Structure 1
Amino acid sequence: NITWKTVLNRKFIYADGTSNPPDNLPPIKIVSNYTTEVVITLTLCGITLILSIGCTVWTYIYRKTKVVRASQPFFLYMLCIGTALKGASLTPLSLEAFHLGQGILNGTCISYPWLTSLGSFIEYSALFSKTMRVYKLMVAGGRFRRAVVRPLDVMRPFFALISIALILLITWTVVSPAVFAKSPGSSVDQFGRVNSYHYKCSWKDDEKKTIYTTLFYVDTVYPLVALLILAYYAYRTRNVSTEYNESTWIGLIIYIHLQYALFDIIISVFETNWFGASILGSSFIRSFDCLTTLFLIFVPKMIALRNEKKEKLERETKKKERLERLRRFDALKKEQEDEAAGIARGPNTPLVLETQVQDELLTEENNGQSDDDEGYGIKITKPLDLNEEIEVSLSEVLSENELLRESINSKRPAIVNASSLYEEVN
């Protein structure tokens, strides 16, 4: 009996006794099952872009509120643009897994560092500008000097970082652009033909390998240097208390970004032959980097805005309740005056009341004005007897007035004199 025996590390021998494949062999089926990696990458890209656009729209809608104005909408827009560019860089990264034309794949290799670098520097520039603004105010305060920090003053680091990044990227693209390259893998089909490849962006000519490698490492390390400078100024301003604790959140973002940057350098320098691992590693680092920035910057502001709206609604509700109590008191007073007008003067003439409502209560605006400026008093002009119904009504009103007066913390104590029972002194 004749049996087939597998021989390792030997070429396939065809019917003609040679290892040359005939022309009628079936086409090679390339094994490149990166569907899972591509789906995860595009999902993370979509989430990052949607959140970046959503935060941009939220900033525009609430740009006139106190919370957003305190954080300067222009810098919030910069953060959203930076995270959107970094999230968009995942798209060319996922296209490298498809069998597209060589020109398209070369374009993905060139566009990836452009989107990543510009997105990172725009994001870091926004954080750096906000940190430098606090730092300059802290230095001026330490010298007991008054300082005005304009947006243009803190935008200089942005222009410096972006200019250096553009010079680096343009030089890299012109002198030694990246090209999409593939190398044979270890998998073969039944005829001994290679059916798997390893993909990566590499240099085009061996003569420019040194230039390409140098520019690649500079582009990889430069964002880390900018992040370290940002971390230094954030550390200097760590004890400065800012509105809505923005400095605390920026410091936490910088700390997390430093860890992401170190992992990114490890993935970039120590290349792996598993293309799927490189895609997943870069995708998770880029997306989590962006999501960390968006959540730590915008979620506290959304919570603060919601709390301010709630407090404003409570103030308006309390004001309406006070005005309603005053309206009821005035209505009762008018009813007593109408009854008194129909009764002849005598020993049983009803008690006449006069109320005084300060203008501050009626003209109070919804700007957080305290209750200290509100008050009213009751003046008794004639101590005459009342009938039972009026006495009960007056007793209820006086009790309600006393409770309201006790709930208002007056700035000055009430003064009692002969002409008034109690009267608030402004």
Structure 2
Amino acid sequence: FSVAISALFAKLWRINRIILASVTMRRVKVRVQDVAMPLVVLLVVNITVLLCWTLIDPLVYKRFEIDDASWNTYGRCVGSSNVSNTFLIILSVLNLVMLFLALFQAWKARKISDEFSETKIVGGALYGWLQLLIVGVPVALLISEDDTTARYFLFVALIFLVSMSMLLIIFVPLIVQTKRAQKKRNRRSSQESEGASAYYGQERESTAGRVPVVSALSTVQEESAAIPSV
């Protein structure tokens, strides 16, 4: 999630910077380091928080009884104190802030034409993620921890929808646009070849029509030269 969010943010930020510079007639240079910096910063922060979490309050796998039935249990990883909840909140806030920054960049790029970038497609994927989080997180908090089947189904569905929404919303329109552009190029090249063949055909016809005239003129010149002068 962090890698995808930072990559989309960097893409939108680069597009907005280039378009804004073109509007204000300023020359701007976007380097690879500038685009990769959001990804590096977010990854370093996430890894640092996870490392501190692992060192301070590592998660331990435990099994819990359901309705005080020793034969009916479920297992999950938990921390020994509330420190784990604190680190979880920190990670959530960091990634949500990055998500909102990416949404802001998508909102700024909403008027850019699709011919120059796919900002609308990326913005649609980001807004889809926001909707999934708005719906999924409250439902996850309302489901009891003992209802393991419902919680498992909800988490699996959220992970699947977040992943597939990025793949389907972003890559399917790009594939369709690529095929349409290829068809347009093929149609244009075929029209140009047909026009060129028609042009050369007309040239050959006009050349063939001029040959008898030239030969007739040469014949007349030869006959006039053969007549003796008086």
Query: What TM-score comes out, normalization by structure 2 length?
Result: 0.81
In the other structure, the counterpart of 1:199 is 75
In the other structure, the counterpart of 1:363 is none
Contact 2:15 2:117 in 1 (8 A): no
* Alignment of 1:145 onto 2:26: yes
CA drift at 1:261:
2.4
Contact 1:125 1:157 in 2 (8 A): yes
Q: Kindly tell me: are residues 240 and 297 of structure 1, through their superposed partners in 2, closer, same or farther at Cα, counting changes over 3 Å?
A: same
In the other structure, the counterpart of 1:313 is 186
* Alignment of 1:164 onto 2:45: yes
Q: Could you report, residue by residue, the CA deviation over 1:245-300 in whole angstroms, capped at 9, with x for unpaired residues?
A: 52212222221111222344335545531222122111111111111112222222
In the other structure, the counterpart of 1:134 is 15
Provide the rounded CA distance (Å) in 1 between the counterparts of 2:157 and 2:10.
27
In the other structure, the counterpart of 1:84 is none
Q: Secondary structure at the match of 2:71?
A: coil
Q: Kindly tell me: are residues 309 and 241 of structure 1, through their superposed partners in 2, closer, same or farther at Cα, counting changes over 3 Å?
A: closer
Q: Could you report, residue by residue, the CA deviation over 1:360-386 in whole angstroms, capped at 9, with x for unpaired residues?
A: xxxxxxxxxxxxxxxxxxxxxxxxxxx
In the other structure, the counterpart of 2:35 is 154
Contact 1:244 1:304 in 2 (8 A): no
Larger radius of gyration: 1
Q: Kindly tell me: are residues 234 and 195 of structure 1, through their superposed partners in 2, closer, same or farther at Cα, counting changes over 3 Å?
A: same
Contact 1:234 1:247 in 2 (8 A): yes
Contact 1:267 1:282 in 2 (8 A): no
Provide the rounded CA distance (Å) in 2 between the counterparts of 1:168 and 1:327.
72
Q: Look up the equivalent residue of 1:316 and give its one-letter code.
A: S
Contact 2:145 2:151 in 1 (8 A): yes
Provide the rounded CA distance (Å) in 2 between the counterparts of 1:138 and 1:274.
51
In the other structure, the counterpart of 1:24 is none
Unaligned 5+ runs, structure 2: 222-230
Q: Kindly tell me: are residues 331 and 217 of structure 1, through their superposed partners in 2, closer, same or farther at Cα, counting changes over 3 Å?
A: same
Provide the rounded CA distance (Å) in 2 between the counterparts of 1:316 and 1:236.
37
In the other structure, the counterpart of 1:276 is 149
Q: Kindly tell me: are residues 212 and 267 of structure 1, through their superposed partners in 2, closer, same or farther at Cα, counting changes over 3 Å?
A: farther
Contact 1:227 1:254 in 2 (8 A): yes
Provide the rounded CA distance (Å) in 2 between the counterparts of 1:238 and 1:150.
24
* Alignment of 1:254 onto 2:126: yes
In the other structure, the counterpart of 1:299 is 172
Provide the rounded CA distance (Å) in 1 between the counterparts of 2:151 and 2:124.
27
Q: Look up the equivalent residue of 2:11 and give its one-letter code.
A: K
Q: Secondary structure at the match of 1:171?
A: helix
Query: What TM-score comes out, normalization by structure 1 length?
Result: 0.46
Contact 2:2 2:95 in 1 (8 A): yes
Pairs within 5 Å for 1:15-414: 120-141=1-22, 143-186=24-67, 194-203=70-79, 205=80, 209-241=81-113, 243=115, 246-266=118-138, 269-270=141-142, 271-340=144-213, 343=216, 344-345=219-220
In the other structure, the counterpart of 1:422 is none
CA drift at 1:232:
2.4
Q: Look up the equivalent residue of 1:156 and give its one-letter code.
A: M
Provide the rounded CA distance (Å) in 1 between the counterparts of 2:211 and 2:182.
43
CA drift at 1:141:
4.5
Provide the rounded CA distance (Å) in 1 between the counterparts of 2:92 and 2:146.
20
Provide the rounded CA distance (Å) in 2 between the counterparts of 1:139 and 1:332.
55
Q: Secondary structure at the match of 2:77?
A: strand
Percent identity over the alignment is 20
Contact 1:244 1:301 in 2 (8 A): no
Provide the rounded CA distance (Å) in 1 between the counterparts of 2:54 and 2:207.
86
Q: Look up the equivalent residue of 1:146 and give its one-letter code.
A: R
Q: Look up the equivalent residue of 1:273 and give its one-letter code.
A: D
CA drift at 1:127:
0.8
Q: Secondary structure at the match of 1:198?
A: strand
Contact 1:221 1:265 in 2 (8 A): no
In the other structure, the counterpart of 2:228 is none
Q: Kindly tell me: are residues 214 and 143 of structure 1, through their superposed partners in 2, closer, same or farther at Cα, counting changes over 3 Å?
A: same
Q: Secondary structure at the match of 1:243?
A: coil
Contact 1:181 1:201 in 2 (8 A): yes
CA drift at 1:238:
2.8
Q: Look up the equivalent residue of 1:318 and give its one-letter code.
A: Q
